[in-house]
Amino acid sequence: MDGGRRFPGSLTEQLAALVGVGYPRPAMAAAGLYAPAAVGARTPPRPLGRRAGVVVALFRFLARVAGRPGVGSFGLFVLFAAVGWTGFVHNGGYAELIAHDGAPRDILARAVGFRISAVTIGGLAQLTEGEVLAESGVGARDSLLFLDPAVVRERLLAMPLVKSARVMKLYPDRLVIAIEERQPFALWQQDGHISVVAVDGRTIDELRDERFLNLPFVVGVGAEKRLAEYGALIAAAGDLAARVKAGIFVAGRRWTLNMTNGVQVKLPETDPVAAVATLVRLQREARILDKDILSIDLRAPGRVAVRLTEDGVATRAAMPQRKSKTGGHT
């Protein structure tokens, strides 16, 4: 320092001088090459290792860069910016920004015109637009530019009612979603739980509201896998289909139809459609379902067995017995 306690040269020159004092050039240090010392000269320092030579070279480079006009101010700005950003992140400000306005890239994309201004949803039958939009995860914080259609599609396919989905971006600000729904075919009860199932037996969803109460109702293990067969029975019933309350799949082999008046119609394992045709004929000719009966057994080919209610038994007992041609009673 001079008398005014000032450095005689610039700070850059002082740093370069400080780094360079007593050290050879890095290349020579790495090779361990030195010129012979003159008599009476100061003993040269111990040669540096290769790593130390690299460090020295780095310091010299930084000293040269720092000496350029404006570089020091820019470096100071970067330092303060980094410190401020670190504090912003650690104090929860960044998380709050993401939660309120979205990721920084989405904020920038929306600012230049790539916000999602309209979402068009097509192909809905049972689902509502609100349900689809909520499951898609698309919101006001997203930008069309950085929205991943594959991610949105995977979210939609996770919905039980969605069979397939397409997601398309129409720049600059429109998103199109096309949905193909699974068609609910029946309600299936198993272990006290009622599920909505498709015709292929796949469970679509639990019964949560009244939208599906008009679907056919089946009960029992494996009933959901035989829905096509049950549908054929309902079709064969014709006008009587409205009087079928439920189909019970018995022992994984055959169906029993529960009618709305409580009568059970037991169908055979083989050719149950023909048995339903017999039921239709009996109803047309004798109004059999309107009698005081508990069940109709159609399991034996060519034979109909009827079980009466208590009132039906009493009524039958009170009826006068008809004499047969042999003199007995019938």
Q: Half-sphere exposure (CA, 13 Å, Cβ side) for 194?
A: 13
- pLDDT at res. 105: 87
Cα separation, 155 vs 160, whole angstroms? 11
Provide CATH 3.10.20.310 ranges for the chain.
109-181
- pLDDT by residue for the chain (330 residues), tens only, comes to 555 555 455 544 554 454 444 444 444 444 443 444 444 445 555 555 555 565 556 556 655 655 566 555 555 555 555 555 565 455 655 566 556 567 888 888 888 999 999 999 999 988 899 999 999 999 888 999 999 999 999 999 999 889 999 999 999 999 999 999 988 899 999 888 999 998 888 888 888 878 888 899 999 999 999 999 999 999 999 999 999 999 999 999 999 999 999 999 999 999 999 999 999 999 999 999 999 899 999 999 889 999 988 766 666 666 666 554 544 444
- Other beta carbons within 10 angstroms of residue 197's beta carbon come to 23
Q: For 184-318, CATH number?
A: 3.40.50.11690
Give pTM, 2 decimals. Answer: 0.55
Segments in the chain forming alpha helices (H): 11-20, 26-31, 50-66, 71-90, 93-101, 104-111, 129-136, 149-157, 227-237, 272-286, 310-318
- pLDDT at res. 21: 44
Cα separation, 46 vs 42, whole angstroms? 12
Q: Is 309 left (phi over 0), alpha (psi -120 to 50) or beta?
A: beta
- pLDDT at res. 60: 62
Provide CATH 3.40.50.11690 ranges for the chain.
184-318
- Residue 220: closest CA among 268, 252, 183: 252
Tokens of 289: 């379902």
Beta bridge partners of 198: 184
Beta bridge partners of 217: 187
DSSP per-residue codes, 175-218? EEEEEEE--EEEEEEETTEEEEEETTS-EEEE--SGGGTTS-EE
Cα separation, 31 vs 25, whole angstroms? 10
CATH architecture type of domain 109-181: Roll (3.10)
- pLDDT at res. 18: 47
DSSP state of 12: H
